Structure 1
Amino acid sequence: MFSGRVEEAGPSTGSGLPLDAPVLTATGWKAMKDVAVGDLLVDPRGGQSQVLRLHPGGVQDIHRVTLQDGSQAYASSSHQWEFQARDSNNRKKLEVGSTTDLKAFSERKHWQVLLPKPEPYQFEDTGALPLDPYFVGILLAEGSLSDQVLTFSSEDPEIIQRISSTLPDGMRLSKSSSERVKYRIIRDPASRGSLSYSAHRNPVLLELERLGLRGTRSHDKFVPDVYLRAEAGARLEVLRGFMDGDGSCKADGNARLTSSSLRLIEGIRELIWSLGGRAKITVKRNHTYRNPTHGVRAARDVYWIPGICGMTLNPFWLNRKASNFKHSPKSDSYSRKVKRIEHVGRAPVQGVEMASSSQLIITGDAVVTRHTRMATVPQPRTSHPVAEQTALF
């Protein structure tokens, strides 16, 4: 049973997404089957758009659309897409066509098919965040969250100064006497602290407990949902905190990062997507390290993002890294390249009709696709000179 009121706009053409396909709403991801009339979805062109109608499409052939960065989305054969097609001479045109059309273009020799890249997401306002977003990013990168005393490591004076200025009232940093780059986050004996917290507990630890981060180790850290759904400026600061701590940016200007936590690096990738960037996760398995006592030991899998592409915003705040970062206009203009499209079976689908003029929605892995407008007959594929709509990409 579908959630919400279904309004029919005409006979179904079978255009839509599978019922379990994720759709990005103003409060986060929701399965297509749970989308209701009146819901607000994130508009890839900026802002939000309301669902006007739902269009059950029956059981249809389903295709998996895989992009060059490994992202995937699922849609029916007649589901509509907006895409840019480029021939071997780099001549470009914008197309609106079905999944079948998308597949035909992608299989042409020497042609590239590119999907639009979303603008930074705009979610529903969730109010004040429990901890400074840059501080949270540093703790995810360099914090020891499972020890009795909360600590983080850094050898950059700029980071130390910034973290010190963002701590809750009554808290301060104390440099470890045993480790040169480790700092403890403790109560300031000279201050009574905030009256909203117990006099015997570290308020930062209390907030970390509420977020579910207290006690996590490097291999099971994650980005809390409240920060994934924060406003764009706060999401950028979480990313910058993590990148200043664990990321790197060499002379080539390419930003890279690694983590032993799959959940954490997936959260960082979602932050990158939500800010208009692109990122691919790779994994290094079956490697070892040498323990001074026990010799060679098997190491955990390491997940890494070898490059952040398409971001106009600098993912670093720390000057020694931020000054190296280079945004590539060429990389950005390529948007999201379709690698292959495969038939994977049959399943019930549903389309949504939106109030937005962009006619676009976001499905799994931040893939931009079109909403559904039903008609008595399928609409023909249309194409437009790219020069007329360069703002789309």
Structure 2
Amino acid sequence: MSKTFADLVAFLASFSHDPYRFVLAAFPWGEGELAGKSGPDDWQRDVLNDIRDGLRTPDSVIREAVASGNGIGKAQRLTDVIDTPDGPRTWGDIRPGDYVFGSDGNATKVIQCRRYKSIPFYRVGFDDGAYLDVSSGHLWAVKGRNERRRGKDWRVMSTLDILQAGVTRKAGSNPHAKQWEIPIQGAAAYPAQAVDVPPYYLGVWIGDGGVGSSRYTKPYPEIQENLEALGLACNRCDGDVVYVHGMGAGLRSYGLLNLRSSERFIPDAYKYNKAEVRRDVLRGLMDTDGEVNKAGSLIYSTTSRQLADDVMWMARSLGGKARMQPTNKQGWYYKDGKRVDCRDCYRITMTLPFNPFSIKHRKERYKADIQHRYRARYIASIEPIGEYDGMCITVDNKDGLYQARDFIVTHNSAIVSWIIIWAMATHEDTRGVVTANTEAQLRAKTWAELSKWYRLFIAKDMFHFTATSIFCVQEGHERTWRVDAIPWSKDNPEAFAGLHNQGKRILMLFDEASAIYDEIWNVAEGAMTDSDTEIIWCAFGNPTRPQGKFYECFHGAKAMWHTRQIDSRNVKISNKQQLREWEEQYGEDSDFFKVHVRGIFPSASDNQLISRQLVDVALRRELEQKLYKFAPVIIGVDPAWTGGDMLAIVIRQGLYSKVLELIPKNDNDLAVGRKIAKYQDDYGATAVFIDMGYGTGIYSVGRDMGRSGWRLVSFAEVADSDEYANKRAEMWAEVKKWLEEGGSIDDEGLADELTGPEAYINRKGKLQLESKDEMKKRGLASPNMADALALTFAFPVHIDGSRNAKYRRARRNGKLRRVGTL
């Protein structure tokens, strides 16, 4: 090790147990990019000092969780219409479980929706004439001039980030040159559907077909050859006129046959069909009325405005770029010595990732090697349009991106970077892992921010920085002294299991931790077992969800974590005027203000059926026996679905409930049946309701034993009330009403499970509850205890004997609802 390198290591090592002083010493505050800045904000200083204080206790894992107010998320207007695999949908109607198109064009599932009231919106215009109305905090994956020239990856910027950086740039004499490129969208993968007319012929006829006839008029023999290759019978007569037999009925079925050229359109059955169908329609259109100019641009002309819009939409849906020319071409001709003006002609220019021609002379002019900059889409303008209600979504794909209207691809901190550099620079052979909610967030936001601070670091030459790691340049330490950016995967959580570094330092850092799968947290815990090792685990995020491991850091697991909740009103760079307006509009105790300003978890997520506040009250509630003893005793049994789940047995009597037992999944129905029978006898239960899914064997045991009151319940069966999608949704709604009316619970785990499932109004206008599989995809455990409690509301239960009089009297006095809450 050279003397200079050794001296630098020794200097930095003096800050080994003081990250705040390290940050002050390691970066050029007040100079260059940091001009006007003197160091961390107060809250950042406090977090760094929390780590310092934790290092003073040997052999203890430092766990620091920070929830911060996050302003407005990446929202779109509720009234927007977007294209989805199910056809056009109004944005505000999208629900978890629905599908949108991912950036690659394939269907991707919506796993979370979040709504906002009266937030500032901007209209983001693109160079092809498309636009999207989004919130100020909406995230975009973009490349600027620097990223394009240096071959760098996409970075994530908010709408305001782009506005502040400059939407366009000056290039020579052009003061408004393109600057921000967005990803080229993949071809939208609509499901296949049957059509009555071959797609290529449909395109040919729409372009040059005769009114009221299946003939077309065009001289090119390739068109007829293509149609005959499809098995169509064609006869050429009268020069360029070709009759195609047997197609009239199909054209009539789509309402096309008697339309003039200026009235034609592409039917929905072809637009919302697989890519091959759309390509063939477009090929027929381009073979008749398309052209290629010298620059290689593709042009389509039509007198139908609707058809022009359809062609533009079709090109974009196939991964192309299309724009309607700002001025219309108007033809004319002379008749009887007088000029006769023709209809306006709409012209679409486009670039496509495939050759859309089969006509030889046009096909040969197509340029497959057209420069990327002509295919890419660029942000052209950003203008404020006022305040509207909005919604953002989270999608279940690797990059977190989805296609919005007109197939625009859009997305799903400094202190994180300081902690990484401090941990690396002040302890030899530090090993660490950094992850985030999505790979896009990790690569384009978390790691991009680290790149900035690495560049400013006074000792950056000690380390080599790549797109996925930062490691020591000293020979022999490349593998032992490093931090890696690792995207998490619910299918491969073991990727986080191998982080051990006995006797040295380990750093585990979660960014946007609220959306990281629970199993990743569990696996990461296994790296916290090395003795005589400095172990630092930091989790940063926005308090958007009142459940999950990040939420637990501030609640059930609070004893293990040092936590801070950052109020934006106390942050130097926050917009204080905007925060005051939100406080006046929503109130300090509203969930909106809690999440976006105060850094406090909401009482309920936007789609949450049962709020945390409701179950917390129920958990603390103590009931006198006289309030429930007259009600029937009901047992609910929810068998385990998978090996990681538990069979749950819950008892309820009126407003009282108790978790009797949790049993690991097993196939011994006889033992479980006997156990339930004993509980029935011990508690005098009138009814036992068992989930049919995996409970038929248990039910059969009870029937063979001659037990009375046992009954199977199908979650999927029709609800008694029309307002619910199925029996499970109805039972859970009854649980919510029961809690509101004074129900009590006795188990923290049950409380967590009750707040887990989300609910929404489905397309039939009925309340739909999120399935167990959907919950697991969000990183939540199966709510077996909560489902067992819900089962106690499956059917009315009658009481007999001496209890009847007390029951009827209580009901008459309004102390109990009818059967639902017994």
CA distance in 2, matches of 1:41, 1:251: 37
CA distance in 1, matches of 2:277, 2:168: 42
Residue equivalent to 2:214: 150
* 1:139 counterpart = 2:139: no
Residue equivalent to 1:97: 157
**Structure 2: which amino acid aligns with 1:153?**
T
1:88-137 per-residue CA deviation (whole Å, 9 max, x = no partner) reads: 994464221211112223436347111111011111232x3221111111
1:370-392 per-residue CA deviation (whole Å, 9 max, x = no partner) reads: 13x99xxx99955648x959xxx
Match for residue 83 of structure 2 among 16, 20, 24: 24
Match for residue 366 of structure 1 among 395, 407, 413: 407
Residue equivalent to 1:41: 100
Contiguous gaps of at least 5 residues in structure 1: 1-9, 187-202
* 1:267 counterpart = 2:310: yes
Residue equivalent to 1:116: 183
Secondary structure of 1:112's counterpart equals coil
**Structure 2: which amino acid aligns with 1:123?**
Y
Aligned pairs for 1:279-294 (under 5 A) are 279-285=322-328, 287=330, 289-293=332-336
**Structure 1: which amino acid aligns with 2:310?**
G
**Structure 2: which amino acid aligns with 1:117?**
I
1:280-306 per-residue CA deviation (whole Å, 9 max, x = no partner) reads: 101544845234148223332111023
**Structure 2: which amino acid aligns with 1:115?**
I
CA distance in 2, matches of 1:284, 1:351: 36
Identical counterparts, % of pairs: 23
* 1:129 counterpart = 2:185: no
1:190-210 per-residue CA deviation (whole Å, 9 max, x = no partner) reads: xxxxxxxxxxxxx42221122
Secondary structure of 1:20's counterpart equals coil
1:227-256 per-residue CA deviation (whole Å, 9 max, x = no partner) reads: 111111121111111111111124543321
Verify the 8 A CA contact 1:21 1:31 in the aligned structure 2: yes
Q: CA deviation at 1:274?
A: 1.4
Secondary structure of 2:160's counterpart equals helix
User: CA separation of 1:92/1:344 partners in 2, compared to 1, >3 Å: closer, same or farther?
Assistant: farther
Verify the 8 A CA contact 1:15 1:57 in the aligned structure 2: no
Aligned pairs for 1:188-203 (under 5 A) are 203=246
Verify the 8 A CA contact 1:135 1:241 in the aligned structure 2: yes
1:42-79 per-residue CA deviation (whole Å, 9 max, x = no partner) reads: 11224211111211112111101111111111101011
1:308-335 per-residue CA deviation (whole Å, 9 max, x = no partner) reads: 22x2211112222111100235235762
Residue equivalent to 2:223: 159
CA distance in 2, matches of 1:109, 1:162: 48
The more displaced of 66-75 and 245-254 is 245-254
Secondary structure of 2:265's counterpart equals coil
Residue equivalent to 2:255: 212
The more displaced of 218-227 and 326-335 is 326-335
Secondary structure of 2:180's counterpart equals strand
**Structure 2: which amino acid aligns with 1:359?**
G
CA distance in 2, matches of 1:166, 1:88: 47
**Structure 2: which amino acid aligns with 1:221?**
R
Contiguous gaps of at least 5 residues in structure 2: 1-68, 171-177, 413-435, 452-465, 469-822
CA distance in 2, matches of 1:89, 1:262: 36
When normalised by structure 2's length, the TM-score is 0.40
Verify the 8 A CA contact 1:280 1:305 in the aligned structure 2: yes
Verify the 8 A CA contact 1:79 1:98 in the aligned structure 2: yes
1:332-387 per-residue CA deviation (whole Å, 9 max, x = no partner) reads: 5762111110001111001111111121111222211113x99xxx99955648x9
* 1:69 counterpart = 2:105: no
User: CA separation of 1:328/1:21 partners in 2, compared to 1, >3 Å: closer, same or farther?
Assistant: farther
Residue equivalent to 2:396: 355
The aligned length equals 349
Match for residue 270 of structure 2 among 202, 221, 227: 227
Q: CA deviation at 1:161?
A: 2.0
Verify the 8 A CA contact 1:151 1:185 in the aligned structure 2: yes
CA distance in 1, matches of 2:303, 2:326: 9
CA distance in 2, matches of 1:99, 1:89: 20
Larger proportion of helix: 2
User: CA separation of 1:48/1:252 partners in 2, compared to 1, >3 Å: closer, same or farther?
Assistant: same
CA distance in 1, matches of 2:191, 2:147: 43
Aligned pairs for 1:46-65 (under 5 A) are 46-65=105-124
Aligned pairs for 1:231-250 (under 5 A) are 231-250=274-293
Secondary structure of 1:212's counterpart equals coil
CA distance in 2, matches of 1:25, 1:150: 33
Match for residue 145 of structure 2 among 75, 86, 102: 86
CA distance in 2, matches of 1:248, 1:319: 12
CA distance in 2, matches of 1:122, 1:287: 37
**Structure 2: which amino acid aligns with 1:59?**
S
CA distance in 1, matches of 2:326, 2:168: 31
Verify the 8 A CA contact 1:61 1:346 in the aligned structure 2: yes
Verify the 8 A CA contact 2:167 2:380 in the aligned structure 1: no
When normalised by structure 1's length, the TM-score is 0.81
Secondary structure of 1:300's counterpart equals strand
The structure with higher relative contact order (CA 8 Å, sep 6+) is 1
Verify the 8 A CA contact 2:195 2:269 in the aligned structure 1: yes
Pairwise CA RMSD: 2.9
The more displaced of 55-64 and 21-30 is 21-30
CA distance in 2, matches of 1:56, 1:291: 60
Q: CA deviation at 1:173?
A: 2.3
Secondary structure of 2:365's counterpart equals coil
CA distance in 1, matches of 2:75, 2:204: 41
Verify the 8 A CA contact 2:168 2:180 in the aligned structure 1: no
Verify the 8 A CA contact 1:363 1:369 in the aligned structure 2: yes
**Structure 2: which amino acid aligns with 1:51?**
V
Residue equivalent to 1:7: none
Secondary structure of 1:234's counterpart equals helix
User: CA separation of 1:287/1:153 partners in 2, compared to 1, >3 Å: closer, same or farther?
Assistant: closer
Secondary structure of 1:227's counterpart equals helix
**Structure 1: which amino acid aligns with 2:191?**
E
Verify the 8 A CA contact 1:360 1:369 in the aligned structure 2: yes
Verify the 8 A CA contact 2:72 2:135 in the aligned structure 1: no
Residue equivalent to 1:321: 362
User: CA separation of 1:343/1:381 partners in 2, compared to 1, >3 Å: closer, same or farther?
Assistant: farther
**Structure 2: which amino acid aligns with 1:282?**
Q
